[in-house]
Amino acid sequence: MHKIVLGLLVVFALMACNIPQKSQDNKVDVEASQSTDKMEWWRNDRFGMFIHFGLYSQCEGYWKDESIGGIGEWIFKHAKIPVDEYKELANTFTCENMDVDAWAKLAKESGMKYVVITTKHHDGFALFHSKVNDFNVVDATPYSKDIIAEFVEACRKYDLKIGFYYSQYQDWSYQGAGGNNWDKPYAWSKEGFKNYMDEKALPQVRELLTNYGKIDMIWFDTPGKMKKEESEAFLNLAKDVQPKIIVSGRVGNDVGDYVQMEDNDLPKRRPDFDWEAPVTMNHTWAYKRDDHHWKSAGYMLWQLTYSAAMGGNYLLNIGPKGDGSVPQESVNRLKVIGDWMKVNSEVIYEADPSPFVNAFNWGGITHKGNKLYLNITDWPKRQLSIFGLQNKVNKAYFLASGDAVETSREGEYLVLALPDEAPDRNATVVVLEIEGEPIVNQALVQKLDGQIILESELAENTTGRMTHFGSVKKWMKPKGKLAWDFEVTQAGKFKVEVITTGFKRMAWPEKPALWDGGHKVKIVVDEQEIKGEVDKDRTEKAPHDLYNDFKVAEMGTVTIKEAGRHHLELVAETIENSNKAGLAVRMVRLVPSK
């Protein structure tokens, strides 16, 4: 990996862009992580299964016949269930239709290479036999067998790497640990947290990493108020017991081995660090009987190929039902993904990421030797154009059939002639065999159809706010600006649109996103200036965003007289925030106008 020779013929697009930085808790020392070879298998494999299973799975989103909002595994907190009552769920945990071997087989047949399972989620219940705390599957349930032992055996049988999820900060059923704010004796306290770490969390992590042989990953989550030395205590313990283990970034305080993106969020620009996207198949992680928002297999194949193109791993979740069986909706989708992987897996395994740092709207590129794989998930009618690939293309063909694809050049655009219908409606791979290692122009450039798309995530961002699902998050005060340098190939008059989205709380996927309008902004394009109000003149479906639509505000027109490099700035003059969303700019779009 990391062999790409990036021909940075135009480097201005790289300058001062806000490469996605995730929450403070979740950053890593990139050099430290990349200097070790223990990440090698993880970078090569790219595709894993996440399993959320526990006592909460039995509730299916209901408590005492009442439907509870939010993600399923949070029912304990969202329904404010007293700890003693919640613990009674252990009495009915019989797992009568659970087949752990079948979970692992499903992962294998879907093309996944590693599996991460919730050994203990925020509720504090352990799926393994713990000697230090009896709220565990062996001591507290009629099932009474160690599910993690079964899981490890199954993963080994199918040659899958093994990952343990462990909620190190939140433990809602242990006094003094993090997260319980509804059952008083269980509230976080400084001494209580220390006691929890010493008496439960650290000893349980030691049990997990000592009793089951070689473990490949430990997946910590929601570090909350943990101090650096507390994060380090988990890290050091893990590395002490399992020197080659990969530790997830959500161990907190920048000390993990890689970055976990925010749940269900994929970057718009290729990060230069190791990252993984944990993703749900519907809106919840643990099973909820009323959550019918199943993503299509095609959507998930977009996420998988796009993640690989952006140099990241895709961790796709299943939430078995309370009896242990896997929802048929998940099985069906994984079958489609597995069938696709049987034909196309070379575009994922051991493939380098895209030589382009910016994303494409039709899918993503992965790369191996002299082959570029164009993984096309959003089929463009008749032709696809790529700006800035400098190499000679010796051969172009569909990976699945071997049929040739015609290519031509229009200036710096490589143009592929494509049939009207996608050969594979989920994801069609075109292979470009090129001369030498890819050399590309990284400019943020006008599309061949004339539009200029300036994504917030690609801006020089001095607002002090990060992006969330591609939009500036909680920009509440009119300070700072977004600025882009971009390349124009076809000069002319352009309509200027500012596109905003809502702010979505992922723990409550069914609640509508918060959105504010009525902001006053100034747009400066080179020496021209227009002022206007960012509101909702119309809405548009947001590509690949299942939680938001685009609110499009028309700001006026500008004229760009010459092709070449130009500069645009968006400055906020007033910001409305009555809905606590602020000015959530997703992009500025320039649309050719007569």
Taking CB atoms, the residue at the shortest distance from ligand FHN is 278
> CB-wise, 18 or 280, nearer to ligand FHN?
280
> CB-wise, 196 or 398, nearer to ligand FHN?
196
Question: What's the rounded Cα separation, in Å, for the pair 86 and 177?
Answer: 16
Q: Kindly state the DSSP code that residue 477 receives in the 8-state scheme.
A: S
Question: What's the rounded Cα separation, in Å, for the pair 483 and 274?
Answer: 27
> CB-wise, 71 or 488, nearer to ligand FHN?
71
Residue 461 contacts residue 482 (beta carbons within 8 Å): yes
Question: What's the rounded Cα separation, in Å, for the pair 550 and 533?
Answer: 16
Question: What's the rounded Cα separation, in Å, for the pair 131 and 210?
Answer: 13
Question: What's the rounded Cα separation, in Å, for the pair 223 and 249?
Answer: 10
- Polymer length in residues for the chain: 594
Q: How many CB atoms lie within 10 A of CB 543?
A: 9
> CB-wise, 366 or 467, nearer to ligand FHN?
467
Least distance between ligand FHN and beta carbon 427 (Å)? 24
> CB-wise, 50 or 135, nearer to ligand FHN?
50
Least distance between ligand FHN and beta carbon 278 (Å)? 4
First to last CA, the chain: 47
User: What Å distances lie between residue 269 and 226, 238, 501, CA to CA?
Assistant: 30, 32, 19
Least distance between ligand FHN and beta carbon 126 (Å)? 15
Nearest to 12 by CA among 568, 586, 565: 565
Binding site for ligand FHN (CB under 6 A): 71, 73-74, 221-222, 263, 278, 285
User: What Å distances lie between residue 223 and 227, 261, 480, CA to CA?
Assistant: 9, 14, 30
Least distance between ligand FHN and beta carbon 73 (Å)? 5
> CB-wise, 127 or 430, nearer to ligand FHN?
127
> CB-wise, 112 or 414, nearer to ligand FHN?
112
Nearest to 500 by CA among 560, 587, 429: 587
Question: What's the rounded Cα separation, in Å, for the pair 375 and 314?
Answer: 15
Least distance between ligand FHN and beta carbon 52 (Å)? 6
> CB-wise, 218 or 384, nearer to ligand FHN?
218
Residue 453 corresponds to which amino acid? I
Least distance between ligand FHN and beta carbon 138 (Å)? 23
Question: What's the rounded Cα separation, in Å, for the pair 297 and 311?
Answer: 21
Least distance between ligand FHN and beta carbon 105 (Å)? 23
Least distance between ligand FHN and beta carbon 116 (Å)? 9
> CB-wise, 262 or 455, nearer to ligand FHN?
262
Least distance between ligand FHN and beta carbon 388 (Å)? 35
Question: What's the rounded Cα separation, in Å, for the pair 319 and 294?
Answer: 12
